[in-house]
Structure 1
Amino acid sequence: MLKIGSHVSLSTKGLLTATGEAASYGSSSFMIYTGAPQNTRRKPVDSLFIEEGKAAMAEANIDEIVVHAPYIINLGSYKENTYQLAVDFLKEEIRRTHALGVRNIVLHPGAFTDKDVDYGIDRIAAGLNKVLNGTTETDVSIALETMAGKGTEVGRTFEEIARIIDQVEHKERLTICMDTCHIHDAGYDIVNNLDGVLDEFDRIIGLDRIAVVHINDSKNPVGAGKDRHTPIGSGWIGFEAIRRVVHHEKLQGRPFILETPWIGKDAKTQRPMYEVEIALLRGNVAERFGESFLSDVEQVHAFFNKQEIYPRAFIISTWELLKSDAKAKKADPREPLERLYDAVVEAGLFPELTEEQINQRIIAWLAVNELTV
């Protein structure tokens, strides 16, 4: 079974709550932070409802999940207090990950800030050695995430990650999290040359190290170095390319995790598109949503065809407009999905549906050429 799921919260009843949320989207895997990703405040492990959560996972046929380390960790920092915090906190996160029964903790390698990339690589490798030598939970691996090249972050090329691995003593405890948005933004053309990118990764690092795949579309063209996620099919990568990643024979068996942003007009009512994204990528939309959903998607398709609005052309042209024309962006800053939603609402197509339900149908329309039921 395809292991595909969403990033969910460990709120309220810990792992039990997270499992329930993931299952509601149709997930067969999921990713959690053991606390808020922006800080180091953490609840005691014994308050995370671990056994109850594992029972719920078994009932939902979820056998593998992933932990993500908080963003605040920076093993590349030259500031001693920041560096030591990263080392100490990552050790503790490994212990918590072990307590949850999880095998991989995803880590952004770090940023070199006021130094240079060589310093950052050496510093990160030294920090990983301190962490791995200082923990006995050998069943937990650190999955270094491929990065987009934003700012001074390290890991934007396969070579940078390989150089980190080369300096780490316990290489057997290092895996990789490949992020589709990140490698696209870093300049790897997974849209037109996925096989070539995977072959390059295999030559430099080894495909056997990939333990997790983050699946996200991108708001920016290839090589932009920006790292801005958007729902599947609404960005420069597109649904078809991401579907090829998820079903590529060389990547099977890994958990594929969505980190796509929640969308909606009102921040208070924004919702993720995880459920429809998972169903589209798995190919069970009719089973998940019913035949009437497919009829609605056909209605959306006919509506936009009449206006000569075609999925990929509209998405790319809108992003190009927003990136290149400052005056146009100032006059109308709406992103592609918001423009499509407004058009459907203004036409009065589905007056009985919620904003989330309309957006789900638009996401499906964007993937219409690959829609299987």
Structure 2
Amino acid sequence: MPRKPANPRRQAASPPKLGAHMSIAGGYDRAVRAAAAVGFETVQLFTKNNNQWNAPPITDAQACAFRAAIAETGVVDPVSHASYLINLASPDDALWEKSIDAMVVEVERCARLGIADLVVHPGAHVGTGEEAGLARVARALDRVLDRTSACAVTIDLETTAGQGTCLGHRFEHLEAILGLAADGGRLGVCVDTCHIFAAGYPLHLRELYDETVAELDRTVGLGRIRVWHLNDSRRELASRVDRHAGIGVGTIGLDPFGFLLNDPRFRGLPMILETPKGVEDGEDLDARNRRILLGLVAA
């Protein structure tokens, strides 16, 4: 499979670009300003209700407010996450077509807001087998990319924990999709630390972290990675169960996040927290996780 050129976002000397998934309640600009208020450099958001197929169009006022918030706060490289209802691997033709239509809308909404990256789970094959499911995903992506050729948006396939028949828990799954898709130039990868750990990729020792990253490079290529999700795991290595935890309070531990944050190969990429929200001991949990992560960055 041809390797995509290195991601121009990578800047080895730059500080980590940390963010979190933020609510769009009250407006898309609210998510940006909430991220900036915590001190984040980037942000992830849904562009519509995640639990519904349909959504009203984004108005000019909403798009302008979002772009103004980006300009005013200095938040950069915002990321969107597609609805979990979408299943691009579905063997059910009706759901598959509905998922393709929904992805087209997701891409168009990102373009409307000026968001360059849309993260999506590859989908579940629902018993038809991995090979059939992966081919189904690639065909769906071809359809989506063809219908959104005017949109400057990259679709980032996210690694998964591998629950049920979900695809994406092996790096080879993403490699296969990228190889089968006709327009690989608009496809990237999002790596989730909780997901790959739960899928069986060890991170807790430096040599194991290096082996896992080397496997990523051998399969999808590091130049394909555009976004990281930084999440600890409530469950053990190779559990195949997706349960996020705050940084350093799960079974992954602190060291792997230090390895990642200090890895010059990933500097400049958005690194998004999807950890539990709330306040504990008087401290906002997003702010706590940010503080802990920054404490791992080498001077």
TM-score (norm 2): 0.89
Q: Which has the larger radius of gyration?
A: 1
SS of residue in 1 equivalent to 2:119 = strand
More helix by share: 1
SS of residue in 2 equivalent to 1:49 = helix
Describe the shift of the 1:33–1:271 C-alpha distance in structure 2 as closer, same or farther (beyond 3 A): farther
CA contact (8 A) 1:261 1:272 kept: no
User: Which runs of structure 2 are paired with 1:236-247 in the superposition (5 Å)?
Assistant: 236-247=251-262
- 2:23 matched residue in structure 1: 9
Give the % identical residues.
33
1:34 aligns with 2:47: yes
- 1:203 matched residue in structure 2: 218
Distance 1:35 1:103 in 2: 16
- 1:139 matched residue in structure 2: 152
Distance 2:103 2:256 in 1: 34
Describe the shift of the 1:11–1:48 C-alpha distance in structure 2 as closer, same or farther (beyond 3 A): farther
- 1:280 matched residue in structure 2: 292
SS of residue in 1 equivalent to 2:228 = strand
- 2:126 matched residue in structure 1: 113
- 1:24 matched residue in structure 2: 37
Q: Residue type of the partner of 2:95?
A: T
1:216 aligns with 2:231: yes
Distance 1:239 1:62 in 2: 26
- 1:173 matched residue in structure 2: 186
Q: Which runs of 5+ in 1 are unaligned?
A: 284-369
Partner deviation per Cα, 1:119-146 (whole Å, 9 max, x = no partner): 1111111111111112123421100001
Q: Residue type of the partner of 1:133?
A: D
Partner deviation per Cα, 1:57-93 (whole Å, 9 max, x = no partner): 2222212100100000001111111100100110111
Partner deviation per Cα, 1:312-351 (whole Å, 9 max, x = no partner): xxxxxxxxxxxxxxxxxxxxxxxxxxxxxxxxxxxxxxxx
CA contact (8 A) 1:98 1:137 kept: no
Distance 2:297 2:102 in 1: 44
More strand by share: 2
Partner deviation per Cα, 1:92-123 (whole Å, 9 max, x = no partner): 11111011111110000000113111111111
Mean Cα displacement is larger for which, 247-256 or 205-214?
247-256
Describe the shift of the 1:18–1:43 C-alpha distance in structure 2 as closer, same or farther (beyond 3 A): farther
Q: State the 4+ residue runs in structure 1 displaced beyond 6 angstroms.
A: none
For residue 70 of structure 1, the aligned residue among 83, 91, 106 is: 83
Partner deviation per Cα, 1:246-282 (whole Å, 9 max, x = no partner): 22111111000000022579xxxx9961111112212
SS of residue in 1 equivalent to 2:226 = strand
CA contact (8 A) 1:15 1:48 kept: no
Describe the shift of the 1:137–1:278 C-alpha distance in structure 2 as closer, same or farther (beyond 3 A): farther
Q: Residue type of the partner of 2:150?
A: E
Partner deviation per Cα, 1:196-238 (whole Å, 9 max, x = no partner): 1111111111000000000000011111100100111110111
**CA shift for structure 1 position 243:** 2.6
Distance 1:47 1:138 in 2: 17
For residue 235 of structure 1, the aligned residue among 241, 247, 250 is: 250
User: Which runs of structure 2 are paired with 1:306-325 in the superposition (5 Å)?
Assistant: none
Q: Residue type of the partner of 1:202?
A: D
SS of residue in 1 equivalent to 2:80 = strand
* Larger RCO (alpha carbons 8 Å, 6+ apart): 2
- 1:81 matched residue in structure 2: 94
SS of residue in 1 equivalent to 2:59 = helix
TM-score (norm 1): 0.72
Across the two proteins, how many residue pairs are aligned to each other?
282
CA RMSD after TM alignment: 2.0
Q: Residue type of the partner of 1:281?
A: L
For residue 113 of structure 2, the aligned residue among 70, 92, 100 is: 100
